[in-house]
Amino acid sequence: MTSKIERTQTGLRIEKRLLKVLKATAEHLDMTLGDLVEGIALHSFENKPPFSPETIEKIKQLKSVYDLDLCAQDSHTFKEDEE
């Protein structure tokens, strides 16, 4: 069964290295960034892991490539540089 949905454009701001890892993960999975983010959100709303163990390994590699050293706990302490 296919669910009919309506999408909207967003001006989402996101940490630069995190975005690079998300884009590379979407490319690895042959999907759009929007589809990846939707899947992550829907899985997390049901307390389900969004990625297979193989994809988690790929994400670890991508985090290393893009120097992403943040973890879930860090999201509670983000502070943006004031320019």
Digits of tens for pLDDT over the chain (83 positions)?
Answer: 788 999 999 999 999 999 999 999 999 999 999 999 999 999 999 999 999 999 999 999 999 999 999 999 998 888 887 66
- Determine contact, residues 28/65, Cβ cutoff 8 Å: no
* First CA to last CA distance, the chain: 49
> Rounded to an integer, what is the distance from CA 66 to the centroid of its chain?
14
* Residue 80 pLDDT: 81
Q: Which residues, 6 or more positions from 21, have their beta carbon under 8 angstroms from its beta carbon?
A: 59, 62, 63, 66, 68
Is 50 within 8 Å of 61 (Cβ atoms)?
A: no
